Amino acid sequence: MFLLTSLAMAIGSTLAGAVAVGFEPALAALIGAGLALLLGTIGARLVTLQTERLTTVAQAMAENPGKRASIAAAGEFQELGDALNRMADKLDRTTSELRGERDRFGVVLEGMVEGVIGLTSDGRVALCNRSATAMLGEVKPPLQKRLLDLVRQPALKDLLARAQAAPRLRADEVRDSDVPYVELTMASGAKLLWSAWPLDRAGIGVLLAVRDVTALRRLETVRRDFISNVSHELRTPVAIVYASAEALCDGGLEDPTVARDFAQTILRHAERMSRIISDLLDLSRIEAGAYDLSPSGVQVTERIRHAMRLIEPTTTARGQTVTADVQDGLTVRGNPQALDQVLVNLLENASKYTPQGSQIQVGCKRLGDRVELWVADNGPGIAAQHRERIFERFYRVDAGRSRDLGGTGLGLAIVRHLVEAMGGTVTCDANEPTGARFRVFLQT
C-alpha cells in the first residue's frame, strides 16, 4: 500500500511536469485520472490477493495445526501474518498441554484399583474406568446405558437419589463423612462398596467410586471365626481343669486315688491347652514373617533324613515302617527349620491317622525348576470333600478322634503357612490303592 501511494504521488508530480511542458491541461487531467484509476484497481487487487492468501492459510491452519502463514509483503499484512503465526504457535502449545493432561488423567483413571463411574443427570454412564467395567461384569465400558439397568438393586437407587439431593460441593469441600455410601452384594458374590457425590460439571451429574471389599470382608469373617474357634477349643479343657481343681478342693484331696485321677485329668488338659497355644504362636510367628529364607538353598535329602530320625520313636512304637525314596543333591529355596516342621507335621499325621503296622513313604524328586516332596501312607485316607478344607485352622475330619489323639486341628494350617512363606504350595490327594498323599512343591 505504501508503495502504491508513493507511486501515485510520483505520477501526480510527473503529470504536473507534463502540463508545464505544454500538454493540454484537460488532456493531462484525463490521463492523470485514468492512471490513478488503473493504479487504484491494481492496489485493490493486490489487497484482495493478500487477504485471500491469509484466509487460505487461516483455513489451512484450522485443518492442520502445523501450517504457518508466509507473507512476503511488508507493512500491516506482514504483521497480520506474524500475529496469525504466533496465535497458531500458542494454540499448538495449549493443545499439546491439554493432550498431555488428558493422557495423564486417562492413565491414572485406568490404572486405579477403585472403580470410577460418572453418570449424566439422567443416570446414564458417561465415564467408566477399567476397574468399574470389570466390577460391573462388562467387557467394555457400558457408556450411555442406565446404571440402574445394569445393577438392579434398590439400595443403589436410594444412594443415587441421596447423592442427587445433596448440595453440590467442590472437591476440596467434600468430607468423607458427607459422602453417602452403600455396600452391595453383586450377582457374582462380590461385595462392592459404592460411594456417590453430586458433581454437575463436564456433563457428569453424579460421580461414583466403587471399591471391591470382598477380600476384606472374607478376612473379617475368618478373624471372627478364628476367635470363636479358639474360644471354643480352649473352653472345654479350661472347664475340665476348673471342675477337677474344684473337686480336689472339695474333699478330693482326702482320697489319694481320687486325687491322683483329678491331678492326671488336670495335667492332660493343661498339656492340651499348652499345645494349642504353642501352635497358635507358631502360626502368628509365621504370619509375622519370622522365618528367613536361606539364601544358599536347603539340602532336601538331609532334611528328610533328619525328620525321619525325629519321628522314628513314634512309628517304631506303633510298628509302622517309614521308607524313603529320594533323589540326592536336590536343594530348594526355603528355611531348614521350616522344612523340618513341615515334614515332621506330615509324618506325625501319617503315623497318627493310620493303624498300627501301616506303611509310610517319604520322598523327593525334581520337577523342572521345582522340587516335589511327598509324604504318603496306606491308611484310611481323606475323603475328597475334606481335602481342601483340612488346611484351614481347626478343621478336622473327625474332631473327637483328633482330640483323642492329641491333635489341635492346627497342624496342617501351620504346614500350609510355612510352605507358602517359602514361596511354595502344598496339596493333598488320595494315595493308591489307599491312604493319603501330601505333596509339597518348592522352588529350586
Residue ranges in contact with ligand ADP by CB under 6 A:
349-350, 353, 377, 379, 382, 390, 396-398, 402, 407-413, 436
C-alpha cell, 66: 502445523
Which DSSP symbol is given to 114?
A: S
Residue 320 Cβ vs ligand ADP, minimum distance, rounded to whole Å: 12
Residue 361 Cβ vs ligand ADP, minimum distance, rounded to whole Å: 12
Residue 218 Cβ vs ligand ADP, minimum distance, rounded to whole Å: 21
Nearer to ligand ADP among residue 194 and residue 353 (C-beta): 353
Long-range contacts of 305-314 (CB under 8 A, 24+ apart): 306/340, 307/340, 307/343, 307/344, 307/347, 307/362, 308/347, 308/362, 310/340, 310/344, 311/344, 311/347, 311/348, 311/351, 314/348, 314/351
Residue 106 Cβ vs ligand ADP, minimum distance, rounded to whole Å: 49
Nearer to ligand ADP among residue 126 and residue 339 (C-beta): 339
Residue 316 Cβ vs ligand ADP, minimum distance, rounded to whole Å: 18
Angle CA(408)–CA(411)–CA(416) in degrees, nearest 5? 145
Nearer to ligand ADP among residue 57 and residue 413 (C-beta): 413
Nearer to ligand ADP among residue 212 and residue 233 (C-beta): 233
Beta strands in 292-401 (DSSP E): 294-299, 321-326, 331-334, 359-367, 370-377
Nearer to ligand ADP among residue 269 and residue 396 (C-beta): 396
**Cβ distance 118 to 204 under 8 Å?**
yes
Rounded Cα distance between 168 and 172, Å, is 12
Nearer to ligand ADP among residue 144 and residue 385 (C-beta): 385
Q: Which residue type, as a one-letter code, is found at position 156? A: L
Nearer to ligand ADP among residue 131 and residue 408 (C-beta): 408
Residue 180 Cβ vs ligand ADP, minimum distance, rounded to whole Å: 45
- Containing 212, the helix (H) or strand (E) segment is strand 204-212
Closest CA to 440 of 429, 426, 428, 420: 426
Closest CA to 261 of 248, 249, 272: 248
Nearer to ligand ADP among residue 178 and residue 398 (C-beta): 398
Residue 408 Cβ vs ligand ADP, minimum distance, rounded to whole Å: 5
**Cβ distance 351 to 408 under 8 Å?**
no
What are the two backbone dihedrals, phi and then psi, of residue 255, each rounded to the nearest 5 degrees? -105, 110
Residue 231 Cβ vs ligand ADP, minimum distance, rounded to whole Å: 18
